[in-house]
């Protein structure tokens, strides 16, 4: 099912054109790997899709709605979950607090009732789903390993149940075993009907994707394996 | 609720930062509280003192206005212009006309005149060099002890005051004077009777039923005989007499009291003996006192007399209010100082908090980036940051306000005491510079002091202008208590919250300018 559509999407930093007339349609239940050389605009594309920056030209449709007319903050806290390359977790908070905060922001933006017990229960549950037990969930983020922090970032992105998951180099700096575990989570998400878009340099990650997209051409290419 | 809960969490998480900001706000709140309490004390003292007083008003010639009118463009004063501008004192019928104003509760008047001692009578004096010479000067047209007053009126040994009613005898009403022997003359009598002070009676070995003879200071052969019907004791010692001049007339012991009608008879008789242009006759000074009660009525009276037709040559004044203002001078000075102190504290406090918040917001730039990146709206982030500082401000107000409330009274009293000491030192220095001892030197001379707690009043008040003229003995308001009230708390809360919001605005501006992607991309 079509969930995200990019139409003639262009972006430039001043005079430097980074993205030019990008057209693509993303569907639910699939993993997309966006690949390309460094500086090709992979992270920029992710930022544009997540609403962190406005495209200079073109349109993004999410569930058929023109994103220009949507509130970007509500969009980021409802429709789309972003997993940043550097995790971007709040280091003074524990893992569970990071997830809870994200849930609270989403509920607040969508004017839903905040039930503290329910939020706490769900936060632990999501963290457990990504492989963090209660003890790890109660630890401050800085005291967790890179892989565990990545899991917290994934849990945070999933906390409010978005349909689209955007991940920027989710396995960068992680050992092979952890990479595999993270990708298993991604596969599970896609199997649960999410649209997972991963920006990556890793051939392993690209190989796990249902569709591999070369950013220069934005053309579909066959998975690596 | 979301904002408040997260603001509280952030405060608890960043203990060091919160503690530092909290301490600064507490110090500001404490200083502001003390400053506000001092101001409030002054206001309370004034309000309670004035509300406890029965305010009286007098109408007199506006000398300042006359002087400025008489001044030529070159700055010199023409005597004829000045006389013209000053006009004449109001007559009794004119004074009574203004008593019809609705603000006036009651009206009384006094007539005072200066007379010389005659026969065996001698003016009471504690100074050996100024003994009365009236007896030796009986043949001369002008007594050697008599002197020309500033207005050309001759000043004799005694001040004889005639009262229109018992109410007019404020010294007896307030208890300063009490009849010890005999009794007070009948209200409104025109019989030649009087009451004299016990000091004067003892000095001249006089008792009730005796007669005293007083003479026109300008013509000693013009004599009037008065029967003593009562002898009063003046609790105000002669040393407390004001610095009215070197004559004995200013000594309270030399004040002779009689009825208005009696004195008016003397003055009228004297006037009839001489031509209208002559200044030899005993001249009486008529003073009307309007009892208005409250300050509001006093202000109303001021506007009412103008509408009744009081010329601009005359002005309305109140010795009660003036007396209070003299007594409250140190407290008013302190309140003024507290006002400036408040402004400085608020300004410095605002600068410190703004600078701290600039650094704090820069330090939390990453947090702002993350929060906005995961969907928290910028205005919510701004609200969160402002809430944090407002919560800290509230905590600061509670702690600072409590400590301030407990310490403001002793601090105010200590400051007030030093203010009074400095005022008294100034007054003493002035007296020494004039070569006088420090007796009767206005407010500074009074050794006693009064306190004001919202109920007690300050300052001795002379309701009657004739008895109080030149008699400026007042007590200073030297202590205050319980100056904090709901308005002080609200002002304290308001000023601290305002400071917090001003400081918080720095965060708001920064948050609105920050773009999450830029912050996260430039994290290092």
pTM as predicted: 0.67
CA distance A2 to chain B (A): 24
> Is there a contact between B375 and A106 if contact means CB atoms under 8 Å apart?
yes
| Percent of chain B whose predicted confidence (pLDDT) is above 70 | 78
List alpha helices for B280-377, DSSP H.
Answer: 295-308, 319-327, 329-363, 365-373
| More confident: B69 or B453 | B69
CA distance A225 to chain B (A): 33
Q: What is the mean pLDDT of chain A?
A: 87
Supply angle C-alpha B82, B87, B92, rounded to 5: 155
Residues B463-495 as b or e (16 or more Cβ within 10 Å = b): bbbbbbbebbbbbbbbbbbebbeeebbebbbeb
Phi, psi for residue B58 in degrees, rounded to 5 = -130, 150
> Is there a contact between A108 and B380 if contact means CB atoms under 8 Å apart?
yes
| Percent of chain A whose predicted confidence (pLDDT) is above 90 | 40
Sort strands A195-199 and A164-168 into parallel, antiparallel or unpaired.
Answer: parallel
Set of chain A residues whose Cβ sits within 8 Å of the Cβ of B515: 53
- What is the chain A residue with the closest CA to B373? A52
Sort strands B158-163 and B106-118 into parallel, antiparallel or unpaired.
Answer: antiparallel
Q: Does A74 lie at the interface with B, CB-CB under 8 angstroms?
A: yes
Q: Write out residues 359-398 of B within 8 Å (CB-CB) of A.
A: 367, 369-378, 380
Set of chain B residues whose Cβ sits within 8 Å of the Cβ of A103: none
C-beta separation of B404 from B493 below 8 A: no
CA distance B196 to B204: 11
CA distance B343 to B510: 27
Set of chain A residues whose Cβ sits within 8 Å of the Cβ of B360: none
* CA dihedral (A179, A180, A185, A188) positive or negative: positive
Least confident of A42-46, A198-202, B406-410, B414-418: B414-418
Cβ-in-10-Å burial (0-12, 13-18, 19+) of B343 comes to: exposed
Of A21, A103, A110, whose CA–CA distance to A70 is shortest?
Answer: A110
Q: Which residue has the tokens 């404020």?
A: B170
H/E segment holding residue B467: helix B465-468
> Is there a contact between A105 and B14 if contact means CB atoms under 8 Å apart?
no
Taking the CA of residue B186 as centre, how many other CA atoms within 13 Å lie in the half-sphere pointing to its CB? 4
C-beta separation of B275 from B40 below 8 A: no
> Is there a contact between B517 and A88 if contact means CB atoms under 8 Å apart?
no
Give me the mean pLDDT over the A174-201 stretch. 88
CA distance B200 to B253: 6
How many CB pairs below 8 Å do chains A and B form together? 58
CA distance B447 to B431: 15
B420 pLDDT tier (thresholds 50, 70, 90)? confident
CA distance B106 to B123: 34
Set of chain B residues whose Cβ sits within 8 Å of the Cβ of A75: 375
Give the pLDDT of residue A217. 54
CA distance B212 to B226: 5
C-beta separation of A199 from A169 below 8 A: yes
CA distance B417 to B412: 8
CA distance B425 to B392: 45
Interval B22-59: pLDDT, tens: 999 999 999 998 888 888 877 777 777 777 778 888 88
Set of chain A residues whose Cβ sits within 8 Å of the Cβ of B517: 47, 52-53
CA distance A78 to B354: 36
Set of chain A residues whose Cβ sits within 8 Å of the Cβ of B388: none
> Is there a contact between B523 and A86 if contact means CB atoms under 8 Å apart?
yes
A 10 A CB-CB count for A199 gives 28
A5 pLDDT tier (thresholds 50, 70, 90)? very high
- This model of the complex carries an ipTM of 0.90
CA distance B57 to B59: 7
- What is the chain A residue with the closest CA to B6? A101
Q: Does B11 lie at the interface with A, CB-CB under 8 angstroms?
A: no
H/E segment holding residue B22: helix B15-52
Q: Does A89 lie at the interface with B, CB-CB under 8 angstroms?
A: yes
- What is the chain B residue with the closest CA to A76? B375
Taking the CA of residue B520 as centre, how many other CA atoms within 13 Å lie in the half-sphere pointing to its CB? 26
Q: Does A20 lie at the interface with B, CB-CB under 8 angstroms?
A: no
Q: Does B8 lie at the interface with A, CB-CB under 8 angstroms?
A: no
Q: What is the mean pLDDT of chain B?
A: 78
Residues A142-158 as b or e (16 or more Cβ within 10 Å = b): eebeebbbbbbbbbbbb
> Which stretches of B356-414 are assigned E, i.e. beta strand?
none
Residue B20 has pLDDT above 60, yes or no: yes
Give the pLDDT of residue B358. 92
Sort strands B219-234 and B147-148 into parallel, antiparallel or unpaired.
Answer: unpaired
CA distance B357 to chain A (A): 19
Set of chain A residues whose Cβ sits within 8 Å of the Cβ of B1: 114
Cβ-in-10-Å burial (0-12, 13-18, 19+) of B62 comes to: buried
> Is there a contact between B376 and A77 if contact means CB atoms under 8 Å apart?
yes
CA distance B448 to B467: 21
Give the pLDDT of residue B322. 83
DSSP secondary structure string for all residues of B74-86: TS-B-HHHHHHHH
User: Among partner residues A78, A92, A109, which is closest to B13 by beta-carbon distance?
Assistant: A92
Q: Does A159 lie at the interface with B, CB-CB under 8 angstroms?
A: no
Q: Does B340 lie at the interface with A, CB-CB under 8 angstroms?
A: no
Residue A221 has pLDDT above 60, yes or no: no
CA distance A93 to B123: 93
CA distance A147 to chain B (A): 19
Strand-pairing partners, residue A25, are A5
H/E segment holding residue B272: helix B260-273
Set of chain A residues whose Cβ sits within 8 Å of the Cβ of B369: 88
CA distance A103 to chain B (A): 10
C-beta separation of B95 from B288 below 8 A: yes
Residues B152-176 as b or e (16 or more Cβ within 10 Å = b): ebbbbbbbbbbbbeebbbbbbeeeb
> Is there a contact between B523 and A74 if contact means CB atoms under 8 Å apart?
no
Q: Does B6 lie at the interface with A, CB-CB under 8 angstroms?
A: yes
Q: Does B520 lie at the interface with A, CB-CB under 8 angstroms?
A: yes
| More confident: B497 or B462 | B497
H/E segment holding residue A204: helix A203-208
3-state DSSP of B186-241: CCCCCCCEEEEEHHHHHHHCCCCCCEEEEEECCEEEEEEEEEEEEEEEECCCHHHC
Sort strands B158-163 and B154-155 into parallel, antiparallel or unpaired.
Answer: unpaired
> Is there a contact between A88 and B2 if contact means CB atoms under 8 Å apart?
no
Q: Which residue has the tokens 């205050």?
A: B480
| Percent of chain B whose predicted confidence (pLDDT) is above 90 | 23
**DSSP code for B283:** P
C-beta separation of A33 from A55 below 8 A: no
Give the pLDDT of residue B231. 93
Which of A48, A52, A111, A114 to probe the B interface (max B CBs under 10 A)? A52
CA distance A24 to A16: 22
> Is there a contact between A109 and B375 if contact means CB atoms under 8 Å apart?
yes
Interval A107-158: pLDDT, tens: 988 888 888 899 999 999 999 988 899 999 999 999 998 889 989 999 999 8
Give the pLDDT of residue A119. 92
User: Among partner residues A86, A92, A105, which is closest to B374 by beta-carbon distance?
Assistant: A105
> Is there a contact between B376 and A73 if contact means CB atoms under 8 Å apart?
yes
Which of A45, A102, A108 to probe the B interface (max B CBs under 10 A)? A108
> Is there a contact between B375 and A78 if contact means CB atoms under 8 Å apart?
yes
User: Among partner residues A47, A53, A105, which is closest to B375 by beta-carbon distance?
Assistant: A105
C-beta separation of A62 from A3 below 8 A: yes
| Furthest CA-CA distance within chain B | 113
Give the pLDDT of residue B397. 92
Set of chain B residues whose Cβ sits within 8 Å of the Cβ of A92: 13-14
Set of chain B residues whose Cβ sits within 8 Å of the Cβ of A47: 517
CA distance A126 to chain B (A): 17
Contacts of B106-109 with C-beta under 8 Å, sequence gap 24+, read: B106/B167, B106/B290, B106/B291, B107/B288, B107/B289, B107/B290, B107/B291, B108/B163, B108/B164, B108/B165, B108/B167, B108/B168, B108/B288, B108/B289, B108/B291, B109/B164, B109/B168, B109/B260, B109/B286, B109/B287, B109/B288, B109/B289
User: Among partner residues B376, B378, B517, which is closest to A105 by beta-carbon distance?
Assistant: B376
Give the pLDDT of residue B520. 77
Residue B475 has pLDDT above 70, yes or no: no
Interval B228-251: pLDDT, tens: 999 998 876 544 444 444 445 567
C-beta separation of B197 from B234 below 8 A: yes
> Is there a contact between A88 and B369 if contact means CB atoms under 8 Å apart?
yes
Least confident of B156-160, B180-184, B343-347, B373-377: B156-160
User: Among partner residues B1, B369, B374, which is closest to A102 by beta-carbon distance?
Assistant: B374
CA distance B61 to B59: 7
Q: Does A191 lie at the interface with B, CB-CB under 8 angstroms?
A: no
Q: Does A40 lie at the interface with B, CB-CB under 8 angstroms?
A: no
Sort strands A164-168 and A80-83 into parallel, antiparallel or unpaired.
Answer: parallel
B151 pLDDT tier (thresholds 50, 70, 90)? very low
* Structure tokens, B10: 């952030």
DSSP secondary structure string for all residues of A94-149: BHHHHHHHHHHHHHHHTTPPP-HHHHHHHHHHHHHHTT--HHHHTSBGGGS-HHHH
Of B265, B300, B268, B275, whose CA–CA distance to B104 is shortest?
Answer: B300
Interval A30-73: pLDDT, tens: 999 998 888 788 888 988 998 888 899 999 999 888 988 888 88
C-beta separation of A174 from A147 below 8 A: yes
Interval B97-134: pLDDT, tens: 888 888 888 899 999 898 888 888 888 876 544 444 44
Residue B478 has pLDDT above 70, yes or no: no
CA distance B422 to B419: 5
C-beta separation of B226 from B256 below 8 A: yes
């Amino acid at each position: 099912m079509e969930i995200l559509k990019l139409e003639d999407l262009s972006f430039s930093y001043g005079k430097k054109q980074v993205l030019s007339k990008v057209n693509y349609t993303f569907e639910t239940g699939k993993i997309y790997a966006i690949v390309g050389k460094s500086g090709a605009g992979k992270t920029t594309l992710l930022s544009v899709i997540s609403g962190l920056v406005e495209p200079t030209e073109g349109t993004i449709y999410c569930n058929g709605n023109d994103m220009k007319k949507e509130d970007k903050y509500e969009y980021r806290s409802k429709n789309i979950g972003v997993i940043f390359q550097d995790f971007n977790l709040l280091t003074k908070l524990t893992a569970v607090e990071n997830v809870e905060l994200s849930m609270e922001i989403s509920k607040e933006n969508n004017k839903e009732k905040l039930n503290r017990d329910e939020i706490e229960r769900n936060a632990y549950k999501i963290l457990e789903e990504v492989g963090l037990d209660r003890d790890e969930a109660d630890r401050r983020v800085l005291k967790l390993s890179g892989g565990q922090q990545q899991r917290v970032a994934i849990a945070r992105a999933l906390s409010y149940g978005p349909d689209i998951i955007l991940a920027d180099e989710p396995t960068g700096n992680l050992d092979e075993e952890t990479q595999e575990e993270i990708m298993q989570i991604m596969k599970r998400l896609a199997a649960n009907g999410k649209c997972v878009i991963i920006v990556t340099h890793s051939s392993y990650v690209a190989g796990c994707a249902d569709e591999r997209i070369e950013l220069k051409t934005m053309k579909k290419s066959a998975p690596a394996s | 609720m979301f904002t408040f809960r997260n603001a509280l969490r952030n405060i608890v998480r960043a203990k060091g930062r919160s503690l530092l900001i909290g301490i600064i706000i507490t110090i500001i709140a404490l200083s502001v509280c003390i400053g506000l309490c001092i101001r409030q004390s002054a206001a309370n003292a004034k309000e309670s003192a004035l509300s406890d007083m029965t305010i009286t008003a007098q109408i007199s010639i506006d000398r300042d206005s006359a002087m400025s009118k008489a001044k030529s463009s070159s700055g010199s004063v023409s005597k004829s212009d000045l006389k013209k501008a000053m006009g004449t004192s109001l007559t009794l019928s004119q004074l009574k006309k203004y008593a019809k104003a609705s603000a006036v509760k009651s009206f009384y008047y006094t007539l005072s005149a200066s007379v010389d001692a005659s026969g065996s009578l001698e003016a009471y004096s504690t100074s050996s060099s100024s003994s009365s010479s009236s007896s030796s000067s009986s043949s001369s047209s002008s007594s050697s002890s008599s002197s020309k007053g500033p207005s050309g009126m001759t000043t004799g040994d005694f001040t004889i005051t005639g009262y229109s009613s018992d109410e007019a005898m404020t010294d007896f009403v307030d208890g300063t004077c009490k009849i010890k022997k005999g009794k007070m003359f009948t209200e409104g009598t025109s019989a030649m009777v009087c009451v004299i002070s016990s000091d004067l009676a003892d000095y001249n070995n006089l008792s009730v039923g005796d007669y005293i003879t007083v003479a026109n200071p300008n013509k000693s052969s013009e004599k009037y005989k008065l029967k003593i019907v009562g002898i009063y004791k003046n609790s105000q010692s002669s040393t407390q007499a004001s610095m009215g001049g070197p004559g004995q007339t200013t000594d309270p012991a030399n004040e002779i009291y009689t009825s208005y009608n009696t004195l008016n008879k003397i003055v009228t008789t004297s006037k009839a003996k001489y031509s209208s242009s002559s200044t030899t006759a005993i001249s009486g000074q008529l003073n009307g006192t309007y009892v208005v009660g409250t300050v509001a009525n006093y202000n109303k009276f001021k506007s009412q007399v103008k509408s009744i037709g009081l010329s601009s040559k005359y002005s309305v004044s109140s010795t009660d209010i003036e007396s209070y203002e003299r007594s409250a001078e140190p407290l008013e000075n302190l309140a003024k100082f507290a006002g400036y102190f408040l402004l400085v504290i608020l300004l410095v406090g605002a600068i410190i908090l703004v600078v701290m918040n600039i650094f704090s917001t820069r330090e939390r730039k990453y947090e702002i980036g993350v929060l906005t990146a995961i969907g928290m709206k910028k205005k919510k982030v701004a609200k969160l940051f402002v809430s944090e500082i407002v919560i800290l401000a509230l905590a600061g107000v509670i702690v600072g306000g409590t400590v301030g409330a407990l310490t403001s009274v002793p601090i105010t009293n200590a400051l007030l005491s030093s203010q009074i000491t400095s005022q008294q030192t100034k007054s003493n220095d002035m007296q020494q510079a004039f070569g006088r001892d420090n007796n009767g030197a206005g407010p500074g001379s009074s050794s006693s002091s009064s306190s004001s707690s919202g109920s007690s009043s300050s300052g001795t008040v002379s309701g009657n202008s004739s008895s109080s003229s030149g008699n400026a003995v007042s007590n200073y308001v030297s202590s205050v208590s319980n100056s904090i009230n709901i308005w002080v708390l609200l002002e304290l809360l308001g000023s601290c919250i305002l400071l917090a919001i001003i400081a918080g605005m720095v965060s708001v501006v920064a948050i609105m300018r920050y773009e999450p992607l830029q912050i996260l991309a430039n994290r290092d």
